[in-house]
Every structure is written in C-alpha cells, then in structure tokens.
Amino acid sequence: MDIKATTEAKERFVRITEICGDRRKGIEPLVSVSKSYWWKGVRTGQFPAPIKLSPRVSVWRYSEIQDFIRK
C-alpha cells in the first residue's frame, strides 16, 4: 500500500463553522475572522481554497488550515 495514499485517507476535513466558529453552537474558531471575511479571503487567494462536496457544501483540509495558521 502506498504511504501517501494512507496519509491522505486519514486527512480530516473541516467546515466553515469549525474555521470561523459558531457562538450559538459553542464552537471556538480556529481563525478569528467572520465567515464573510473568510470567503472574501478565499476569493482573493489569501486563504486556502475549499473542496466542493456539493453546490452548498464546502470543506477544507485541516492540515491546510493548520499550515495557514502557522504562517
């Protein structure tokens, strides 16, 4: 089995509520920006691009968000 394929299979995905947080649900943000600011940064290339699962569902690789936070 390919080690790279095994690593990718274990990748965790996060949705925007996990990235920007949700006070009503008690989810602490990974990045302290609003959802609208996050989407603006995605459009301009400032923030990582999402993976579209369906027309209304976008996710990000947790490792890419962690790399973004470190930089």
- Position 70 scores a pLDDT of 94
Q: Would you kindly state where each structural domain of the chain is located, as residue ranges?
A: 13-70
CB 59 within 8 A of CB 15: yes
- pLDDT tens digits for 13-40? 999 999 999 999 999 999 999 999 999 9
18: Cβ–Cβ under 8 A, 6 or more apart, which residues? 27, 30
- Position 57 scores a pLDDT of 96
Render 16-41 in DSSP notation, one character per residue: HHHHH-BTTTTBPPSS-S-HHHHHHH
Please say whether the dihedral angle defined by the alpha carbons of residues 40, 44, 48 and 52, taken in this order, is positive or negative: positive
